[in-house]
Amino acid sequence: MNILLATAEVTPFAKVGGLADMAGALPKAWAQGGHNVIVILPLYGTIDTEKFGIVKTDMLVDVPFGTWTEYAEVWQGTLPDTSIPVYFLRSSDYYDRPGIYGYHEGFEDNDRRFIFLSRAIFEVARALDFRPDVVHAHDYHTAPCMPMLKVHYHSDEFFRHTAGVFTIHNMAYQGMYDPQRAMEFCGFPASEFYTGSWYEQDGIFNSMKAGILFADKITTVSPTYAQEIRWTPEGMGLQGALQSRGADLIGILNGIDAATWSPMHDKHIAVPYDADSLKKKDINKKALLKEVGISAAEMKRDLPVVGMVTRLTEQKGVSILAACIESFVANDRFRLVILGSGEAKYEDLLKNLAYRYPNHVRVGTGYNEPLSHMIQAGADFYLMPSKFEPCGLTQMFALAYGTIPIVRSVGGLADTVQDYDPITFAGTGIRFHRYTGEALQHALETALRLYKREPHWSHMRRNAMAQDHSIVTTAQRYVEVFGWAQEARR
Ligand code: ADP
């Protein structure tokens, strides 16, 4: 099958969250399964072309845009350790600047930047003579590919067999744009935008809604989230659109790339280990504490370490953590090591805690890939108290590293973490339900009771590490859905 993956993020070139991990890992698994894959994303100013061996090609593609034509240079690289081609669109107007989306509110011209990307991918495919069986678009950034496929390319001989699959990684970001601009940039007649039309939501252009309604099949990143977005406020206003496509909406659990996330082969951690050498996790714990500045004298007191690696947004539950953390750290119950970047108010809050409890709270800010691995390997528990969570990858990394997840039972967290049962010794972590500081406090108390308490501690860690969340299974499910999309191609 010829698969064209269109995305705003791909590991290791440009990453903000889990979308990048998936966009980097799926193509490898598809290629191993014998499929032809190309990946297209923008050449952001932050991408280090030299480091990744990304070179300019002689392709300059014309991109129909509004009633005029623009162009983009095409640069080429490969996914690391593979021969899978990645094509980068270079446009000094749109991408040649620091950052992927811009700070909090995003760049002012994000409508234009991502609509351009959505349109350009078709023209790059044509220039490469790559006839996709499926265009796989991700999140609001490339959602406009779905209506474009149907409106501009449906009767185009080159795209005669191309189906559109749209994957939702997070409903919270929908690509809501000024309708006049967005319809024009997409090359759609202004008259197609009206109350209740497929592009309209609350009077504005909604990329996500158009992606959902025009795609041949829609997927999201966990089975529970697929239900939640249809039937609960997690649909963020698009429940109606999602219900209308209910039969075509499939939850496929994300998976993890064992080449990058396995404690036996992780190049960022102090010592490799597996389920039979869990003692070595202690060495990784010490290395982590040293890395974050805990003194050797302090380290002698063995306290549990709770880790977090996260974007700092309301979604990730920082406010309920703030509501209960102080009594734990003030009473010397555990150490908290957080690596996070995002909203200033949460960064300030955590830094303030770290200032007041320097031996108990350590906070890393900014993007730090090596430290994110050290936390997974060195922490005893991994905390994810999310308000909502489409899938979440970091709790799956934690499971693979024998680091016990403490999670709120929502979305993909409910699909990947089973509550530990001390009677049957089954389960992989600790779950809680209500989104309150009190509920989290109870969960943390449960965790502390289980810390190093045998035989439970060994059972939990071994159960966790025995979970299989391989990207290979995930990739196979996508291929199955691509097949259905082709049958359903409208
Ligand atoms: P989301 O996509 O909602 O941000 P996920 O758990 O699905 O959450 O994926 C987050 C990804 O980003 C993981 O690979 C995680 O390790 C990584 N990550 C998040 N914040 C940082 C950071 N500050 N430094 C390094 N990696 C980070």
Q: What is the CATH number of the domain that holds 139?
A: 3.40.50.2000
- pLDDT value at residue 133: 98
According to DSSP, residue 106 is labeled: -
Supply the range of the domain harboring residue 422: 278-468
Structure tokens belonging to residue 264: 């036996």
21 CB less than 6 Å from ligand 1? yes
In a domain, 309, yes or no: yes
Peptide bond connecting 80 to the previous residue in cis, omega within 30 degrees of 0: no
The predicted structure's pLDDT at residue 451 = 97
462 and 479 assigned to the same domain? no
Angle, CA of 350, 353 and 356, to the nearest 5°: 150
Ligand 1 center from residue 19 Cα (angstroms): 9
**Are 405 and 423 found together in one domain?**
yes
Say which amino acid occupies 298.
E
Q: Distance from CA of residue 304 to its chain's centroid?
A: 28
Report yes or no: 317 and 435 within 8 Å, Cβ to Cβ: yes
Query: Which amino acid is residue 335, in one-letter code?
Result: R
Evaluate: CB of 347 within 6 angstroms of ligand 1.
no
Q: How far apart are CA 391 and CA 254, in angstroms?
A: 7
Residue 180 has a pLDDT of 98
Whole-number pLDDT of residue 490: 66
One domain for residues 423 and 351: yes
What are the φ/ψ torsions at residue 164 (nearest 5 degrees)?
Answer: -115, 125
CA distances 58 to 76, 117, 124, Å, are 10, 19, 12
Closest approach atom of ligand 1 to CA 364:
23
395 lines ligand 1 (CB under 6 A): no
Residue owning the nearest CA to atom 22 of ligand 1: 367
For residue 262, tell me if it sits in a domain: no
The reply to whether 144 and 97 lie within a common domain is yes
User: Is 183 within a domain?
Assistant: yes
Is residue 7 assigned to a domain?
Answer: yes
Question: Which residues lie below 8 Å from residue 387, measured CB to CB, with a gap of 6+?
Answer: 314, 315, 316, 317, 408, 410, 435
Is residue 340 located within the same domain as residue 399? yes
Our answer on whether the CB atom of 341 is closer than 6 Å to any ligand 1 atom is yes
Are 63 and 208 found together in one domain?
yes
**Each residue's pLDDT tens digit, 9-62:** 999 999 999 999 999 999 999 999 999 999 999 999 999 999 999 999 999 999
Same domain, 379 and 479: no
> pTM, whole model, 2 decimals?
0.95
Number of domain units in the chain: 2
Q: For 216-272, what is each residue's pLDDT tens digit?
A: 999 999 999 999 999 999 999 999 999 999 999 999 999 999 989 999 999 999 999
137 and 245 part of one domain: yes
Q: Where are the alpha helices (DSSP H) in 300-356?
A: 318-330, 344-356
- Average pLDDT per block of 10 residues along the chain, 490 residues long: 98 94 97 98 97 98 95 97 97 94 88 98 98 98 98 96 97 97 98 98 98 98 98 97 97 94 97 97 98 94 96 95 96 97 93 97 94 98 98 98 98 98 98 98 98 97 97 98 93
What's the 94 CA to ligand 1 centre distance in angstroms? 25
CA of 373 to the centre of ligand 1 (A): 11
Whether 461 and 484 map to the same domain: the answer is no
**Single-letter amino acid, residue 311:** R
Nearest CA to ligand 1 atom 14: 18
Bond preceding residue 405 cis, omega within 30 of 0: no
Pair (249, 283) in one structural domain: no
Flag whether 271 is in a domain.
Answer: no
- Is the C-beta atom of 309 inside 6 A of ligand 1? yes
Contact call for residues 57 and 74 (beta carbons, < 8 A): yes
Identify residue 39 by its one-letter amino acid code: V
Same domain? For 221 and 290 the reply is no
**Are 443 and 483 in the same domain?**
no
Q: Residue 104's pLDDT is what?
A: 72
Q: Which of 482, 3, 28, 6 is nearest to 257 (CA)?
A: 28
**How high is the pLDDT of residue 103?**
78
* Beta sheet of 2-6, edge-to-edge order: 55-65, 68-78, 85-90, 36-42, 2-6, 134-138, 163-168, 217-220, 249-251
Whether 311 is in the pocket of ligand 1, judged by its Cβ within 6 Å, is: yes
Residue 264 in domain:
no
Inside any domain, residue 245: yes
Is any ligand 1 atom within 6 A of the Cβ of residue 340? yes
349 domain residue, yes or no? yes
